[in-house]
Structure 1
Amino acid sequence: MASPPLPAHIPVAIIGGGQAGLSVSATLAGRGIEHLVLEKHRIAHAWRSQRWDSFCLVTPNWQCKLPGFAYQGDQPYGFMPRDEIVAYVEAFARHIDAPVREGCGVDRLARDGDRFVLETSGGTLTADAVVLAVGGYHRPSIPRIAERLPEKVVQLHSSTYRNPAQLPEGAVLVVGSGQSGCQIAEDLHLAGRRVHLVTGSAPRCPRVYRGRDAVEWLADLGQYDLPVEQHPLREKVRRKANHYLTGRDGGRDIDLRRFAAEGMVLHGRLDDVRGSRLRFRDDLRANLDGADQVYNGICALIDKHISDQDIAAPPGQRYTPVWEPDAPATSLDLEIAGINAVVWATGFAADWSWVELPIFDGQGYPTHHRGVTALASVYTVGLPWLHSWGSGRFVGLARDAEYLAERISLGLGRTMRVQVARVTA
């Protein structure tokens, strides 16, 4: 059945039908503000299509607190797998009766006088205000060094990895030790595959410490509420890698040293590719030590909180390495190592080329304060550290959406007063 035509004009257009865009939809509906959500694919598209089969949340289910729709299942301290995450977001959309137009991508966003013009795959419409709810991870990022690998080596990005059976027999090289890279390396390792992992500077976090999930302690400490302006790195924290750990099988630490002791081969950063020969930096020890330093720093923060608040808790202890690298080999021959596949867990690149508005900084990132951009009536939501650490997670979206809904309401009021004044002048 064909979709009904788009309206010629809508007060607020929300671009993106994931949990961030839907959260803004819920808060606008609560204020009686007419709006439309434009989703290029389907609701929860990224969860559905860019996650592997064993994927699950790394934060406990109790942190799923979309506006008026907190997690209601029987495992608040569990970790939803991929398909349940999709179901949760879809159920939220039904709960708020979100006005979503699926399969309607925005190809161009520009300004025409006091209004914004949205050229979409379903036609053109105008809006008084626009919310960019498309996140910042738009295109899989694979370094061009990948072009130098032999053609017979199967290459894929982490967003298209599904399970070990997808890859040819033999060893697998995973490039990148952020959350995705470490979890995919673990997935392959648990399946009995020989894994080589290229490490980087991503930090790690304990799963459980002193009797509770570390996320619970950090929430009590207000870490997820800390405004970006109060973080020591300020806005630079938005570009930092997330801590790696997992919610798989009820949740656990990811300890690359333990994997190494079990046979996983760890390398420093990838420096060069010459056919089947790879060269790595001599920074493996520094990468592992740096991750462990952050891990122990989080433990120390929790220890201090327990002591300051005189909380009864089991004793804690610092992590001590279970494996130390020898002088690492800085080169590797793929053929000799039997590596037939490479998974690039190298993140995503932003693509705002379709947004023809003066809202970006010198690096092409939207400039904003709590999602309010430098251009009146243009807002963004769902970006890492939009306002706090919780902004990029389910737990912080309700607060961000409420704040934007209030700003949008005030902005629409000013727009209407200006329009009325012009008509009566």
Structure 2
Amino acid sequence: MTRTSPVVVIGGGQAGLAAGYHLRRLGIDFTILGADPAPGGSWQHMWDSLHLFSPADHSSLPGRLMPTQPGTTYPDAGHVVEYLADYEKRYDLPVQHGARVDAVRRDGDRLLVEADSGTWRARAVISATGTWSRPFLPAIPGRFVFTGRQLHTVHYRRPADFAGQRVIVAGGGNSGAQIAADLALDGHIDVTWATQRPPRFLADDIDGRALFDVATARRRALDAGRSDTGGVASLGDIVAVPPVRAARDAGLLAAKPMFTRLTAEGVQWADGSQSGADAVIWCTGFRPALSHLAPLDLRGPRGRIPTDGTRALGEPRLHLLGYGDWTGPASATLIGVGRTARDAVREVTGLLT
């Protein structure tokens, strides 16, 4: 059955909900299609010990402050899931959960959104599928030779799953540091942290609030034609959240240069030496989840779709929201996506009039 909706938002996580909030405020009829069977977006799939980089009042979607979580300054992932579920209900956002979109196609003056639960004809589409469903694994030699367990950030849950094992955590970003710290602080796991370059910890007093301000200042400078300040990257790579700080100060986060290959029993380092491992956890990032847009043939360099703000250059009825700075400054964050969602919805409104 084919249904009609002026606007279809693909993705029921934070970006999709922010778009829904602004569409609701403007009185526009819309539908949100979320692949997950329950509210909360990718936050419901995070590891047990994960906490936000920012306090609750600096981690909010438009219109509704996130409540504080008792006993902690930085809310955990479960608290975020509860907040997103409440947000969805509070603003009566029409999210169809468990609706995975397979393709978006042109259909005359409409876009056809094909999901496993049905098809929608829309005048505009906002794609907000994020990156969590598309983990990146490097093509390292020996990857298919290693007989131990390999998993990505998306599969990690808790140290107890690795009790008594030798674990190598590969990746020098926030996820790598947090998972390495989580395992190392357990005390019952032999942990090795491997990074492409020496890790750069931000100052202990810097959290998501400061990072958002720095990223915003950089974007304003670039938009005004001033020189690039370097933004967040100029400060460091890793936010020293309390567990990371504790592991670092205890000498448990001494990173080794990245191994050169996997062997049947472990890894080989650049000097030719080898280490045994029972598991390798790849904390190597993500790519935008854009396969549903393949029929539109919009891909440009590095697999990205060229945009002007959030609007796809090759298809003005399509907006991309929440994939990172290339679709809006800090748009992959809870606090950052609201402004970009507002701008995207304003442009979509122009298409409908």
State the distance in 2 between where 1:241 and 1:157 align: 26
State the distance in 1 between where 2:82 and 2:329 align: 24
Would you say the 8 A contact 1:238–1:384 is kept in 2?
no
State the distance in 2 between where 1:270 and 1:280 align: 4
State the distance in 1 between where 2:266 and 2:128 align: 42
State the distance in 2 between where 1:238 and 1:370 align: 20
| 2:259 matches 1:270 | yes
| 2:112 matches 1:117 | yes
**Unaligned 5+ residue runs, structure 1?**
1-5, 282-329, 414-425
State the distance in 2 between where 1:110 and 1:238 align: 37
Residue aligned with 2:48, SS: coil
The Cα offsets for residues 262-294 of structure 1, whole Å up to 9 and x where unpaired, read as 4x553112222333363334xxxxxxxxxxxxx
Greater C-alpha radius of gyration? 1
Q: Residue type matched to 1:269 in 2?
A: M
Matched residue, 1:205: 202
The Cα offsets for residues 368-418 of structure 1, whole Å up to 9 and x where unpaired, read as 1221221211101111114654322111122111111111111111xxxxx
Report how far residue 128 of structure 1 moved: 0.3
Report how far residue 255 of structure 1 moved: 7.2
Q: Residue type matched to 2:151 in 1?
A: L
Give the alignment partner of residue 165 of structure 1, picking from 160, 163, 166: 160
| 2:73 matches 1:78 | yes
Q: Percent identity?
A: 25
Would you say the 8 A contact 2:56–2:69 is kept in 1?
no
TM-score (norm 2): 0.87
Give the alignment partner of residue 391 of structure 1, picking from 331, 339, 349: 331
Would you say the 8 A contact 1:237–1:385 is kept in 2?
no
State the distance in 1 between where 2:234 and 2:8 align: 30
Q: 1:68 to 1:403 in 2, by over 3 A?
A: same
State the distance in 2 between where 1:19 and 1:361 align: 26
Q: 1:11 to 1:407 in 2, by over 3 A?
A: same
Report how far residue 137 of structure 1 moved: 4.1
Matched residue, 1:280: 269
The Cα offsets for residues 230-249 of structure 1, whole Å up to 9 and x where unpaired, read as 58669x98999983125446
TM-score (norm 1): 0.73
Q: Residue type matched to 1:409 in 2?
A: T
Matched residue, 1:416: none
RMSD between superposed Cα atoms in Å: 3.0
Count of residue pairs brought into register by the alignment: 344
State the distance in 1 between where 2:79 and 2:13 align: 14
Q: 1:58 to 1:18 in 2, by over 3 A?
A: same
Q: Residue type matched to 2:260 in 1?
A: D
Matched residue, 1:334: 275
Report how far residue 224 of structure 1 moved: 3.0
Would you say the 8 A contact 1:78–1:247 is kept in 2?
no
**Unaligned 5+ residue runs, structure 2?**
none
State the distance in 1 between where 2:167 and 2:179 align: 11
Matched residue, 2:219: 227
Q: Which region of structure 1 is more displaced relative to structure 2, 198-207 or 112-121?
A: 198-207
Matched residue, 2:299: 360
Q: Residue type matched to 1:411 in 2?
A: L
Q: 1:117 to 1:217 in 2, by over 3 A?
A: closer
Q: 1:216 to 1:156 in 2, by over 3 A?
A: closer
Matched residue, 2:58: 63
Would you say the 8 A contact 1:61–1:76 is kept in 2?
no
Would you say the 8 A contact 1:10–1:127 is kept in 2?
yes
Higher helix share: 1
Matched residue, 2:191: 195
Matched residue, 2:16: 21
State the distance in 1 between where 2:18 and 2:71 align: 21
Residue aligned with 1:392, SS: coil
Matched residue, 2:352: 412
Report how far residue 348 of structure 1 moved: 2.0
Give the alignment partner of residue 373 of structure 1, picking from 301, 312, 319: 312
Q: 1:105 to 1:240 in 2, by over 3 A?
A: farther
The Cα offsets for residues 11-63 of structure 1, whole Å up to 9 and x where unpaired, read as 000000001000000101100000000011132231112x1111111122221
Pairing of 1:124-143 with structure 2 (within 5 A): 124-143=119-138
Report how far residue 190 of structure 1 moved: 0.5
